[in-house]
Amino acid sequence: MQRILIVEDDRNQRLLYQEELSAEGYVIDVAVDGKEAVDKAAANPPDLIILDISMPGMDGIEAMGKILGGNNKIPIILNTAYASYQDNFMTWAAEAYIVKSSDLTQLKATVRQVLIKRQAEEGAVGASEGSPSS
Amino acid sequence: MDERTGMTDSSTKTRDPLSSQAARFLRQRLDRIVAEWAARVQRLPSGGLLKQSVERGEGVREVRKLFSLILDQMEHPASPVDREVLRQVQAGTSGQGISAGHLERAHLILKRVALDLLRQEYSAPQRDISRMCELVENEIDENRVRVSEAFVQSTQERLRDSVEKYRGFMRTAPEAIFVVRREDGLIVEANDAAARLTGRPIEELVDTPLAELRPEEDAPRWEEVFEQFDQASGPVGLDDARLLHGDGSRIAVDVSATPADFGGQRMALVVARDITEEKELAAQVQLYADQLKRTVQEKVEQVAALTRITTAISAGTDLERIFQIVSFEVGKLFAFDHFSIALLDEAHETFHVASVAGPAETELRDKSVFPLEGSLIDRVASERKVIQQDDLARLEAEAEGKTEGQAPFPEDRLLQAAGVRSYMSVPLLSSNRAIGALILGSNRPRAYSPRDSIALQEIAEQVALSIECARLSEIERKRSAELAIINEVGRKAMSTLDLDEFLQTVAESIQRNFAYFDVSIFLIDPDPNEVELVAQSGAYEEVSLVGYRQPIGVGMVGWAAEHGQTLLANDVTRESRRILAFAEEVAFGSELCVPIHVSDRTVGVINVECTEKNAFDPASVSALETLADLISRTIENARLFDQTRQLKQFNENVIANIPFALIVLARAKPDSQLTAIALNEAFCDFLSVPGSAKPGSAKPSSESVGRPVSQLFSPALLEASELEPRLEQVLRNGGVAHVLNIVDHRPRGHRVLNFHLSRVTSAPEAQVLLLIEDVTEAVERGYRLSMLRQINATVQGTLELEKILRIVLTCVTAGEALGFNRAFLLMVDREQNLLEGRMAVGSASAEDAYRVWQELAERGSSLTELLESVDYTTPREDLPLYDTVRRMVFPLTDEAELVVQTVLLKRPFIVEDGRHDPRVSETFLDLLGANSFVAVPLIAQDEAIGVIIADNLYAGGPVSTERVELLAIFANHAGLAIANGEAYASLKDKIQKLEDAYQTLEETSDKLVQSEKLAAVGEVAARVAHEIRNPLVTIGGFARAVHRALDPASPLAEKTGIIVDEVARLEKILASVMDFTKPTTPRQQPSHPNDLVEQSCLLLSIDLVVRNITLTKQLAPELPPVMVDPEQIKQALLNMMKNAAESIEWGGEITVTTALAKPASRSPARVPSPDDARAAPFVCISIQDTGKGIPPEALKKLFDPFFTTKSDGTGLGLAVTRKIIEDNGGEVKVKSEPGVGTTFVIYLPASGPEAPGFAKPGWLSPPGLIDGSGTGA
């Protein structure tokens, strides 16, 4: 069972992702802001984090920095309403950058791909160092 | 209230409680009662006035008040009402004809209404009701009586007023008024005016029968009028009647009688108006009219007399006869005892009596002469006014008494002697000039009135006119006699040159024609200073001796000779200068000495004597003076004769030898053409065509003599100079005429001529001398200089180098200018050290040259016109001699070449025979194709910048030094102009570069503005978009979840499907907005353009099917890759294709083409720059549709954000497209034609094989997957 941490400040969206991804067969954990996400990721590292960027308090990019600072093996998908953060090189550290859409096909496909890739890496290299690159 | 308290209480009846009960009851129903009253009034069979007042509303209002008053009375019986009732009656009746009867009726109706109401509606014991009715009835009746009384009272008051008014009118009337009782005819009343008119007091008039006031003689008329009066109903009148005044006199009056009834008695209101003054006035008018009639009659008589006088005067010029008629006619108009006509003499010193009627044996008789000064005639004539003397006898008495008054005139005494007591004198004026006066005298005192003087003046006018006529005709007669002699003398003078014989003839003619006593002519002999008698005719012929001499200054002749002035003695006895030359001379009568002048010198004197005094009038003096002139001319002629003969000889020699062409023209017959009668050698040369006349050939002069003008000159020349009319003019009017600068066009060159025409006056028949001056050389020189200036102005006026070169060469070859056949221009190229042929002007062949000359000659156009007609836009490559000039290239180091020397030495060369000239190379001559030519340097700022080579290849003639000099001067100017032109050309290059730079700057600035615009859009859009995107995700997401969960066939599924679709649409719009805000740096990589197109087309396929669009792809094979972000470009292509599809709506074509574009063709509007040339080629992708097209005004804004022509578009699609293309280093163009379609063209920079790769951001997914679905526009 793969575990996904969904970080989303908007309650309804959180609910949406939780339901949709549960339906895909993942175990879903949620965080309402960056700080909770950092805590949860440190306490119990998930297989994948879907991270919103624009959030009150600690935003997604800061949170991503802290999470990756603690454990750089957790793949993170940035899921945001803003296309503009792509220019911020910090976002390049994420596995993928998705602009939010009501159509979750893309999100689901990316989640799938990222998890497959992670499994393959873990299987092949074990606990090797280095950031993912293409 | 004050009014009421002032009234007496008229009511004493006791107060009954039922009365006030009834009143209250009725008052409550006041409206109904009044309405019912009105209704009943309306129903009345008669009673028009009452009905009318109801209709107008007044009646209702008044009755309401009235009834209200009655009710008041019932409730408070003490209220006084009289005055109020009276007021109401007056108000209600005044001016409306409401009578007491009407009021009664109104009351009766009111009573009935009130009682009916009371009986029907009041609930009370019958007894009480009866009692109440009674009370009401009483009260209304009482009021009715009051009203009637008031009415009567008011009528009486008005009657009293009328009577007062009538009496007032009577009293104050301006006309006399009598009221007469017809029954007995007694005056009942009369007013003040009547009393004044008749002079009797009113008391006396009253009770007097009117008949006593009229005079007996008028009685029948009065009776008649009163008979009429009795039958008439209106007034009757009696005009111009009389009334007896108290003092017995009669007064003229107009009378009118108006019938009137007073108290049943028939009265006559008699009004009498005093018309005495009117009658007097009429009498006066009549008097004037009579007077006027008399005056008119007199005037008619005068006019008749004048007419007779005028007729008589115009019938003849015999003054005596005229004077007789005038006297006769004047006699008819005026009674006179003396009538005389006095005329002034020429000098206004004396006057004479021309005619007199009356006692003859007075001093005032015919022909008697009197001094003018101080005379009556003088005063009348000089002041042009009438002088009238009423009584000469009294005047004399006054003069003795030294009383002031008019000083007596000398004539007064004479007139008095002739028995005249009073007289009138009027001036005779001819053309406003006084010529004399008329005197009309009578033996009675005060015989003439001022009116008479006007008539006399008119007669005087006619007399003056006739005198003037007679005088003029007399002068005319005398003049004709004088002319006869002058003519005779003149003829003599012409026919003889023997002076003595001539003078003798003159003396005889004068004596014969004028019948003078003696005529003698003296000539002055300056040497001993004496006069000599040379001719004589008349009384002293026998006794005097021709040859008699007398010193100058002695006697009248001597005086005239000395002073050169005419001396006239009309009475020789008073002339002190007169001497008696010999014993036989008679010492009385008049003598006249007229000097003879020859050019300001006195040469002789004509002396004429008469036995009578006053024999010479001014006219005869001037006649003799004219003769003296004639004589002097003859004397002069005789003296000049010899000189003339010598001169003639001299002239002929001069004419023959002067260098000007000279011809004398005259007519053989009066109406024939002018023909040559004499001409000189130069004229023959002028006629001959240069070079054709063989030396030593027969003299053409003999051939030309006798030929008419039209054969001597060419028609063109005749026309240009207008020679024939000018010859005629000079022939007719004399004088001289000059016709300058006539151009004579001849087959080989032209010449410029000046014609000088003058009449030869000495010849007996009119002849014209025509002098022809050939000024070609001078004119040409001047012309060339002015041409040079003109060329300079033209050349300096332009800075276009090509044009300057053309002008320069055109001037060199223009016939009117320097006149060379061909001209070549070679310019120095300092960089390459070459002398290079640049341009040539002229004809390529002799045939062409002649054709061009022919045209120019026919057109006769000037240089300016020629320069204007040149088409400067012809490229120099197309000019005839371009091939030749192009081959003229000489290194400046080739010093042996003449043209190079021209540059190096900076001086012109003339080559007359190139083949034998060592300075000229064979090569050059072959190139030029001419053996003789001129080479002139073009100098600018002391440096030779080029050479002009000019030749006369076709004309073949030698080149004159003068022309070469001219060419050299010209070349200097041209050089400067060319240098300027070159400087300008290089300046223009710089300007062009600056302009390019500026344009680039402008473009950049435009782009900047565009991007700022976009940034602003982004800011707003971003804020809104993100706020919306989040909830949309939730809505859409759950909708999808629900939708998925539902059975697709269920009705809910359809609805959730709609939610999903709608949310997707919203997200799509947001994406297109937010893409703007996505400042992505394109992830460029070498991409194949055709692949990009193919992939975009795939995405479009659904739209194509939906809209029935055929997509054609024309993709060029082997295109280089383009360095772009493929995803962005696909996005852009898709946008454009969608746009194309949308413009088609249903059925059409989209053609997508890819091709390799040359850099230059990418942007034709821009001037190609070296940057473009070095730039990589472009791939162009064009998308062409057959849609509705874009209107021109929309085309400009097409790429602006939020601009859209679609109802459902965001207006961002194309803005995004452009941003993408430009971000990728490309350019997008659009052209469109409404109704035909639109073409979008994208230019993308092709990457060479060495194009560097681009580091992609390192996430996993292919960017297409990420971007494409989220942002598809």
Give the model confidence (pLDDT) of B575-600 as tens digits: 777 777 666 666 567 888 888 887 77
Q: Is the per-residue pLDDT at B940 higher than 90?
A: no
The region of weakest confidence among B416-420, B478-482, B932-936 is B478-482
Residue A22 contacts B, CB cutoff 8 Å:
no
Residue with tokens 């004050």: B2
**Nearest residue in A to B1079, CA atom:** A84
- How far apart are alpha carbons B1030 and B1035 in whole angstroms? 9
SS3 content of chain A, % helix, strand, coil (to 5): 50, 15, 35
Q: In sequence order, what are the residues at sequence separation of 6 or more whose Cβ sits closer than 8 angstroms to the Cβ of residue B282?
A: none
Residue A94 contacts B, CB cutoff 8 Å:
yes
pLDDT average, residue stretch B148-164: 78
Residue B1058 contacts A, CB cutoff 8 Å:
no
pLDDT average, residue stretch B871-900: 80
Q: Is the per-residue pLDDT at B1079 higher than 50?
A: no
Residue B1260: band (very low, low, confident or very high) from pLDDT cuts 50, 70, 90? very low
Using CB atoms, pick whichever of B1033, B1075, B1265 lies closest to residue A13.
B1033
Residue B1272: band (very low, low, confident or very high) from pLDDT cuts 50, 70, 90? very low
Q: In sequence order, what are the residues at sequence separation of 6 or more whose Cβ sits closer than 8 angstroms to the Cβ of residue B113?
A: B33, B36, B37, B40
The region of weakest confidence among B325-329, B527-531, B617-621, B798-802 is B798-802
Q: Is the per-residue pLDDT at B1171 higher than 50?
A: no
More confident residue, B1060 or B658: B1060
More confident residue, B639 or B321: B321
- What integer pLDDT is reported at residue B587 of this predicted model? 57
- What integer pLDDT is reported at residue B1077 of this predicted model? 46
- What integer pLDDT is reported at residue A120 of this predicted model? 84
Average pLDDT of chain B, as a whole number: 75
Where would I find the H helices in B515-617?
Answer: 555-563
Q: Which two tokens stand for residue A35?
A: 């700080």
- What integer pLDDT is reported at residue A76 of this predicted model? 92
- What integer pLDDT is reported at residue B692 of this predicted model? 38
Residue A121 contacts B, CB cutoff 8 Å:
no
Q: Is the per-residue pLDDT at A39 higher than 90?
A: yes
Please report the beta strands in B930-998, taking only residues with DSSP state E, as ranges in sequence order.
Answer: 933-940, 943-951
**Nearest residue in A to B1030, CA atom:** A81
CA–CA–CA angle B1259, B1264, B1270 (5° rounding): 100
Q: Is the per-residue pLDDT at B1052 higher than 70?
A: yes
- What integer pLDDT is reported at residue A28 of this predicted model? 94
More confident residue, B503 or B95: B503
- What integer pLDDT is reported at residue B817 of this predicted model? 57
Residue B481: band (very low, low, confident or very high) from pLDDT cuts 50, 70, 90? low
- Taking the CB of residue B394, how many other CB atoms lie within 10 A of it? 15
* Residue B1127, CA distances (Å) to B535, B645, B1220, B1267, B1268 in order: 143, 124, 10, 7, 7
- What integer pLDDT is reported at residue B970 of this predicted model? 75
Residue with tokens 């006195």: B602
CA distance A99 to chain B (A): 7
Contact B1261 A94 (CB under 8 A): no
Residue B149: band (very low, low, confident or very high) from pLDDT cuts 50, 70, 90? confident
Q: Which residues pair with residue B265 across a beta bridge?
A: B262
In 3D space, the residue among B165, B168, B162, B171 whose CA is nearest the CA of residue B191 turns out to be B171
Q: Is the per-residue pLDDT at B907 higher than 80?
A: yes
CA distance A116 to chain B (A): 12
Q: Is the per-residue pLDDT at B193 higher than 70?
A: yes
- What integer pLDDT is reported at residue B2 of this predicted model? 40
- What integer pLDDT is reported at residue B1258 of this predicted model? 34
CA atoms within 13 A on the CB side of B484: 12
Q: Is-contact B950 B823, C-beta < 8 A? A: yes
- What integer pLDDT is reported at residue A109 of this predicted model? 92
Residue with tokens 């040079």: B788
Q: Which two tokens stand for residue B129?
A: 């009701």
CA distance A3 to chain B (A): 21
Q: Which of A89, A95, A101, A106 to mutate to test the interface with B (most CBs of B within 10 A)?
A: A101
Residue B709 parent element (H or E) = helix B709-712
In 3D space, the residue among B974, B927, B918 whose CA is nearest the CA of residue B953 turns out to be B927
Q: Is-contact A40 A70, C-beta < 8 A? A: no
CA distance B1034 to chain A (A): 5
pLDDT average, residue stretch A114-128: 73
Considering A24-33, B340-349, B500-509, B646-655, the range whose residues carry the highest mean pLDDT is A24-33
Q: What is the dihedral of CA B751, B756, B759, B760, to 10 degrees?
A: -80
- What integer pLDDT is reported at residue B1259 of this predicted model? 36
Residue B549 parent element (H or E) = strand B549-551
Residue A18 contacts B, CB cutoff 8 Å:
no
Contact B1037 A134 (CB under 8 A): no
Q: Is-contact A46 A5, C-beta < 8 A? A: yes
* Residue B549, CA distances (Å) to B120, B245, B525, B530, B535 in order: 168, 112, 9, 6, 12
Long-range contacts of range B207-215, CB-CB < 8 Å, 24 or more positions apart?
B209/B184, B209/B185, B210/B178, B210/B180, B210/B185, B210/B186, B210/B270, B211/B185, B212/B244, B213/B243, B213/B244, B214/B241, B214/B242, B214/B243, B214/B244, B215/B242, B215/B243, B215/B244, B215/B250
What pLDDT digit, counting tens, does each position of B980-1033 carry? 777 777 777 777 887 887 787 777 777 767 767 766 766 676 677 777 888 888
More confident residue, B406 or B233: B233
pLDDT average, residue stretch B717-737: 81
Cβ contacts below 8 Å, chain A against chain B, sum to 110
Q: What string of H, E and C letters represents the secondary structure of B339-353?
A: EEEEEECCCCCEEEE
SS3 B1121: coil
- What integer pLDDT is reported at residue B60 of this predicted model? 80
In 3D space, the residue among B125, B101, B120, B92 whose CA is nearest the CA of residue B36 turns out to be B120
The region of weakest confidence among B224-228, B297-301, B1042-1046, B1257-1261 is B1257-1261
B 1012-1041 → A contacts, CB under 8 A: 1022, 1025-1026, 1029-1041
In 3D space, the residue among A29, A19, A7, A9 whose CA is nearest the CA of residue A108 turns out to be A19
- What integer pLDDT is reported at residue B1273 of this predicted model? 33
- What integer pLDDT is reported at residue B1268 of this predicted model? 32
- What integer pLDDT is reported at residue B492 of this predicted model? 59
Considering B58-72, B368-382, B464-478, B634-648, the range whose residues carry the highest mean pLDDT is B368-382
SS3 B1110: strand
Residue A51: band (very low, low, confident or very high) from pLDDT cuts 50, 70, 90? very high
| % of chain B with per-residue pLDDT over 90 | 1
Q: Which two tokens stand for residue B907?
A: 């001086």
